[in-house]
Amino acid sequence: MLFSSTIFLFIFLPCVLLVYYGLLRSVRARNVLLLIASLLFYAWGEPVYVFLMLLSIAVNYALGLAQGTGRHKKLWLVLTVLFNLGILFHFKYLGFAAENLNALLGTFLTVPRIELPIGISFFTFQAMSYGIDVYRGQTEVQRNPLDLGLYISFFPQLIAGPIVRYNSIAAQIRERHVTPEGFQEGVCRFIRGLGKKIILANNLALAGETGFRLAAGGEISSAMAWLGAVAYTLQLYYDFSGYSDMAIGLGAMFGFRFEENFNYPYIARSFTEFWNRWHISLGRWFRDYVYFPMGGSRVSKPKLLRNLLVVWLLTGIWHGAAWHYIAWGVLFGILLSAEKLSGFPRSCKSRPVLWLYTAVTLLVVLGSMVVFGAWNIPAALVQLKAMLLLSAAPDPVAAFHWNETRWVLLLAAIFATPLWPRAEEKLPRGTAGSLIRAAVYTLVLLVSVSYLAMGAHNPFIYFNF
């Protein structure tokens, strides 16, 4: 089920809120409701794979209990990691691995075509986080299978994050309080996310898709290459950060506080800063569970380089079983390593140079998104080449898409900066401010629902990861 679907907004969410606040009082009963709702939420989109989810809950629960005995903790941890990575490998990477082994070694392995369970990368990483946190003694073993089930399957962040680490939420599963202010913050956050996804991301999708399709066909004009790249770069941000906003907002409505996942990444002044602002929960997961255990940055320069490249290779692989995702991850690995080893731009004091570097960062990020979103690496190269050649030849396809997206692009560019929160801060306090705020959010909600009423096609990009 999608947050930006009529079935969610018109049936699922009102019913769950109604039962949660109208009929239930104890945290235990509410947790059971949220678990059932989460499984229904997942089953609606993946009726068969809900059993995979249940298996994941059961196995991770049992392995957690085994760790709780205090014996063979390392063995149980290894089994936890192997089980979760095994699921992920089977569903996400088996076909890719077989295909490449066949190409590389000339073997004839059967390449399985397995349908990817949505959100598998998110819930397996969350499950691993539980096992590792228990092993490290950072949290207690969860002896209530329903509570662990709720952690792994909780519907707001189930299928596209943020990746919630167990130690950040364990206490909230046991006890949480909702204040009117907290609930309202959740409502506003949810509406903001819905608007980002439906009004901005969906309206930019066609231009981005057209760019990638033309590039895959081998012919794309400079104008369309640029327009497609900009549209996709903004679409990806609003799609994913919109989902994260909705997840954080929904969590807040039920009394949970999730970590932030985005912080205006396109205003970053360096690649390191970009990754401190983009998909923050994934970055922290890799930092805590991969980078730090390998020694982090307190090692020799060659080892630091190795650590960074491993993390970014894994980040690329995490995003998908395709070479262009791996190239994208490695590209950022190289860029961040260069910044880390050189100390630039942290050590630079010249403002013009820093401004120039900010522009370069944005342009390289734009190019990296072409690699990320393209159908394959050759297609990405075709589009990047067209962007670099800067031909001014007229292109009716680009003219059409420019006409269709120009105002949305403008809005998207404006809201990619922290303008909205600053504007909200400037609102007068008291009745006038509340009225303006309510009017703006109501308008965003109604316009978003109007797109749903039109039956707009709106898959989330990050469901595939």
Partner 1 sequence: MKRFFSIRNLCTLLFLLALAFFLAVGLWPFGSTALRGARMLAEGGALDTKSLESYFNDRLSEHLHPFITLNGGVERVFGKRAVNERYRLDNGKLTYVIPELDMNKIAARTVDFAHYVEERGIPFVYVNALFYLDEDDKQLPPSIEDYGNENADRFLALLNEAGLRTLDLREREKAAGVDHYSNFFNTDHHWTPEMGFWAFTEIQAYLSGLDPSWTAEPEISDFNSYGVEVRENCFLGSNGRRVGVWYAGKDDFSVITPNFDTALEVWSSRDGCARRGTLADCLFYPELFDADPYEASLYDFYCGGDEWMDIRNLAAEKGLTYCGNGKRILLVKDSASLVVIPWLSLACGEIRTYDLRFEDERLPDLIASWQPDLVMVLYNPGALEDNNWNMFQFLR
Confirm or reject binding of residue 14 to partner 1 (CB under 8 A).
yes
Q: Which is nearer to partner 1, 40 or 322 (CB)?
A: 40
Prior bond of 162 cis (ω within 30°): yes
Least distance to partner 1 from the beta carbon of 76, Å?
Answer: 36
Least distance to partner 1 from the beta carbon of 378, Å?
Answer: 24
324 is catalytic: no
CA gap 126, 284 in Å, rounded:
12
Q: Which is nearer to partner 1, 75 or 410 (CB)?
A: 410
Secondary structure class of 179 (helix, strand, coil): coil
**Helices marked H in 391-430 — which ranges?**
396-415, 419-426
Buried b (16+ CB within 10 A) or exposed e, 118-144: bbbbbbbbbbbbbbbbbbeeebebbee
Which amino acid belongs to residue 308?
A: L
CA gap 241, 235 in Å, rounded:
10
| 144-152, 366-374, 399-407, 419-427 -> range binding partner 1 (CB under 8 A) | 399-407
Buried b (16+ CB within 10 A) or exposed e, 280-308: bbbbbbbebbebeeeeeeeeeeeebbebb
CA gap 49, 124 in Å, rounded:
13
Least distance to partner 1 from the beta carbon of 327, Å?
Answer: 30
- Which residues are CB-neighbours of 281 under 8 A, at least 6 positions away? 161, 162, 163, 164, 165, 259, 261
What does the per-residue mask of binding to partner 1 show for 37-76, with x meaning CB under 8 A? ------xxx-x-----------------------------
CA gap 458, 133 in Å, rounded:
36
Least distance to partner 1 from the beta carbon of 231, Å?
Answer: 14
Instruction: Out of 51, 407, 414, 421, point to the residue binding partner 1 (CB under 8 A).
Output: 407
Confirm or reject binding of residue 7 to partner 1 (CB under 8 A).
yes
Backbone angles phi, psi at 443, to 5 degrees: -60, -45
Instruction: Out of 57, 150, 164, 188, point to the residue binding partner 1 (CB under 8 A).
Output: 188
Residue showing tokens 């009225």: 435
Q: Which is nearer to partner 1, 131 or 249 (CB)?
A: 249
| 6-14, 58-66, 155-163, 415-423 -> range binding partner 1 (CB under 8 A) | 6-14
Set 72, 90, 319, 401: catalytic member: 319
What does the per-residue mask of binding to partner 1 show for 429-458, with x meaning CB under 8 A? --x--xx-xx--xx--xxx-xxxxxxxx--
Confirm or reject binding of residue 414 to partner 1 (CB under 8 A).
no
Active site residues: 319
Q: Which residues bind partner 1 (CB under 8 A)?
A: 5-7, 9-11, 13-15, 17-18, 43-45, 47, 180-181, 183-184, 187-188, 191, 199, 203, 206, 396-397, 399-400, 403-404, 406-408, 431, 434-435, 437-438, 441-442, 445-447, 449-456
